[in-house]
């Protein structure tokens, strides 16, 4: 468009009549703060990643769903002081409604399950890939949007659901070339923390808030954690107990501390046994410090991380068995994870294993002069009719066309020339063999 042309370069052709001294102010060509454009090369990489998300979802027999990026603010108002609810991209629309650009997917998913009611026969295995937003003061210069692959299993109370979700994550890593020596999946259960709070008679209503605070372990100082826990009403003794239990790194040690009968230990032992059967034990380890930062998790929680510790969590998730009742619905057990589009690509880049995503087109068609544009269009149409991708080139010199054919890895370059056309033929160059010959037009669409 004119603006883009102007943006690219000032006009120098004498035949472009630009008034001598016009005031032209260039628009800001950058996207809004914290957001990204996806020019073709980046879009090819994003599509490659999303194709892998979709293929894993299909391997697991998950159904795709989608929701509006715009949601009612009420869906995300919850106690517990989570970062995600303190950074809502919220505003009032022209109808005076309080709305948000969604910060996560799970509440929308729960909303749709409730809306579908009995017509949604459980268990449901749903996935989506959607853009999520946060409004963060740009002081930290972090992105304000990212895309998340979400996989959720609704209606299965047992840890075999979590075992399925972790299998999906492992399958994804294997597909994109990541190994278990580079990435691990830390697993724990919030029932560990629940047991500790019960041991110290900490009231249930503090559970979610304590989880959100404890999730900051490793991100803020231990003193800060202890201070926030005390402010939240957790006794000094309980704070010590919490920190002590969360430093446990083995299930056997956890069993020593909590006993063998509690749900935390039995759930985790079942999950690690299932992992053996799936054959992905080498990807996972128990780590009691994993609690995740979302208030609504109630059971098993997990997150994938790069073992060099350079990056933020690659993905994370867990069981949320009370979310539906907090929305006023009959309660439905559920678990799920979110897998962002940014950290995984940073990791692949850092490992030097980003895929080389070349362009390709089956045919390039180029009329050698203007009066042959009609015949060229006729050829293009017949080729596309049989499903061949065709790049029709106009207003270029032949030298540029040859270079372009190499650049976009065309299989064939079809030159429409006057003399050949008069005998119902065109010149075809096969790029792979560099062979060039005259071909009858109706042969172009026959399987070669």
Q: Which is nearer to ligand 4JN, 96 or 218 (CB)?
A: 218
Neighbours of 81 (CB within 10 A): 15
Q: Which is nearer to ligand 4JN, 146 or 186 (CB)?
A: 146
292 binds ligand 4JN (CB under 6 A): no
The CB-of-108 to ligand 4JN minimum distance in angstroms stands at 13
List 71's β-bridge partners, or say none: 100
Q: Which is nearer to ligand 4JN, 145 or 267 (CB)?
A: 145
Q: Which is nearer to ligand 4JN, 84 or 430 (CB)?
A: 84
Do the beta carbons of residue 131 and residue 67 sit within 8 Å?
A: no
Q: Which is nearer to ligand 4JN, 65 or 69 (CB)?
A: 69
Q: Which is nearer to ligand 4JN, 132 or 304 (CB)?
A: 132
Q: How many residues bind ligand 4JN (CB under 6 A)?
A: 10
Q: Which is nearer to ligand 4JN, 78 or 429 (CB)?
A: 78
Report the distance separating Cα 257 and Cα 253, nearest Å. 6
Q: Which is nearer to ligand 4JN, 111 or 429 (CB)?
A: 111
Q: What are phi and psi for residue 311, nearest 5 degrees?
A: -120, 165
Q: Stretches 17-25, 126-134, 276-284, 396-404: which one binds ligand 4JN (CB under 6 A)?
A: 126-134
Do the beta carbons of residue 365 and residue 379 sit within 8 Å?
A: yes
| CA-to-CA dists, residue 244 to 126, 179, 345, angstroms | 37, 31, 35
Report the distance separating Cα 117 and Cα 114, nearest Å. 5
Q: Which is nearer to ligand 4JN, 104 or 152 (CB)?
A: 104
303 binds ligand 4JN (CB under 6 A): no
The CB-of-45 to ligand 4JN minimum distance in angstroms stands at 17
103 binds ligand 4JN (CB under 6 A): yes
Tokens of 115: 């809306």
Neighbours of 443 (CB within 10 A): 12
Antiparallel, parallel or unpaired: β 334-340 and 315-319: antiparallel
What long-range pairs does 236-239 form, CB within 8 A, spacing at least 24?
237/200, 238/196, 238/197, 238/200, 238/202
Antiparallel, parallel or unpaired: β 361-367 and 315-319: unpaired
The CB-of-224 to ligand 4JN minimum distance in angstroms stands at 21
The CB-of-135 to ligand 4JN minimum distance in angstroms stands at 9
Q: Which is nearer to ligand 4JN, 213 or 294 (CB)?
A: 294
What sign has the CA pseudo-torsion 228, 230, 235, 237?
Answer: positive
The CB-of-146 to ligand 4JN minimum distance in angstroms stands at 4
Query: Which residues 128-167 are close enough to bind ligand 4JN by CB under 6 A?
Result: 132-134, 143-146
Q: In the block, which residue shows the tokens 């544009």?
A: 373
The CB-of-87 to ligand 4JN minimum distance in angstroms stands at 7
Helix (H) or strand (E) holding 222: helix 222-231
The CB-of-147 to ligand 4JN minimum distance in angstroms stands at 9
- Angle, CA of 180, 183 and 184, to the nearest 5°: 85
Q: In the block, which residue shows the tokens 């439905």?
A: 332
For residue 112, give every residue at least 6 positions away whose Cβ sits within 8 Å of its Cβ, in sequence order, or none.
65, 67
104 binds ligand 4JN (CB under 6 A): yes
Among 60, 65, 84, 112, binds ligand 4JN (CB under 6 A): 84
The CB-of-233 to ligand 4JN minimum distance in angstroms stands at 27
The CB-of-144 to ligand 4JN minimum distance in angstroms stands at 6
Report the distance separating Cα 250 and Cα 225, nearest Å. 23
The CB-of-112 to ligand 4JN minimum distance in angstroms stands at 19
For residue 376, give every residue at least 6 positions away whose Cβ sits within 8 Å of its Cβ, in sequence order, or none.
365, 366, 367, 392, 416
Q: Stretches 42-50, 127-135, 286-294, 322-330: which one binds ligand 4JN (CB under 6 A)?
A: 127-135
The CB-of-89 to ligand 4JN minimum distance in angstroms stands at 8
Q: Which is nearer to ligand 4JN, 117 or 218 (CB)?
A: 218
* Site residues (vs ligand 4JN, CB under 6 A): 84, 103-104, 132-134, 143-146
């Amino acid at each position: 468009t004119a603006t883009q042309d102007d943006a690219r370069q000032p006009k120098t052709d004498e035949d472009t009549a630009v008034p001598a001294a016009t005031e032209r102010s260039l628009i800001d060509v950058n996207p809004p703060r914290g957001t990204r454009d996806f020019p073709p090369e980046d879009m090819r990489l994003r599509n490659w990643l999303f194709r892998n998300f979709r293929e894993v979802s299909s391997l697991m027999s998950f159904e795709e769903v989608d929701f509006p990026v715009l949601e009612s603010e009420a869906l995300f108002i919850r106690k517990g002081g989570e970062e995600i609810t303190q950074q809502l991209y919220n505003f009032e629309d022209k109808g005076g409604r309080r709305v948000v650009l969604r910060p996560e997917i799970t509440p929308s998913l729960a909303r749709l399950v409730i809306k579908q009611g009995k017509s949604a026969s459980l268990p449901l295995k749903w996935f989506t890939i959607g853009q999520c937003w946060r409004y963060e003061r740009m002081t930290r210069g972090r992105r304000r949007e990212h895309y998340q692959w979400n996989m959720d299993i609704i209606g299965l109370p047992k840890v075999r659901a979590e075992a399925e979700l972790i299998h999906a994550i492992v399958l994804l890593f294997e597909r994109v070339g990541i190994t278990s020596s580079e990435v691990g999946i830390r697993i724990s259960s919030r029932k560990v923390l629940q047991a500790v709070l019960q041991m110290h008679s900490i009231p249930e209503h503090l559970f979610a808030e304590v989880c959100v605070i404890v999730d900051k372990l490793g991100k803020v100082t231990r003193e800060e954690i202890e201070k926030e826990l005390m402010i939240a009403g957790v006794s000094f003794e309980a704070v010590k107990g919490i920190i002590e239990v969360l430093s446990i790194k083995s299930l056997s040690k956890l069993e020593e501390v909590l006993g063998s009968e509690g749900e935390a230990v039995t759930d985790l032992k079942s999950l690690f046994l299932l992992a053996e059967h799936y054959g992905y034990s080498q990807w996972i380890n128990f780590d009691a410090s994993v609690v995740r930062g979302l208030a609504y998790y109630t059971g098993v929680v997990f997150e994938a991380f790069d073992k060099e510790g350079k990056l933020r969590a690659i993905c994370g998730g867990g069981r949320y068995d009370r979310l539906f009742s907090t929305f006023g619905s009959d309660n439905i057990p559920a678990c799920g994870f979110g897998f962002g589009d940014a950290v995984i690509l940073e990791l692949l880049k850092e490992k030097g294993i980003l895929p080389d995503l070349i362009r390709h087109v089956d045919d390039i068609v180029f009329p050698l002069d203007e009066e042959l544009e009609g015949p060229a269009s006729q050829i293009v149409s017949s080729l596309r009719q049989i499903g061949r991708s065709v790049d029709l080139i106009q207003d270029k010199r032949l030298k540029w066309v040859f270079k372009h054919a190499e650049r976009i890895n065309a299989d064939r370059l079809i030159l429409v020339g006057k003399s050949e056309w008069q005998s119902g033929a065109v010149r075809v160059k096969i790029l792979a063999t560099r062979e060039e010959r005259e071909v009858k037009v109706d042969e172009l669409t026959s399987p070669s």
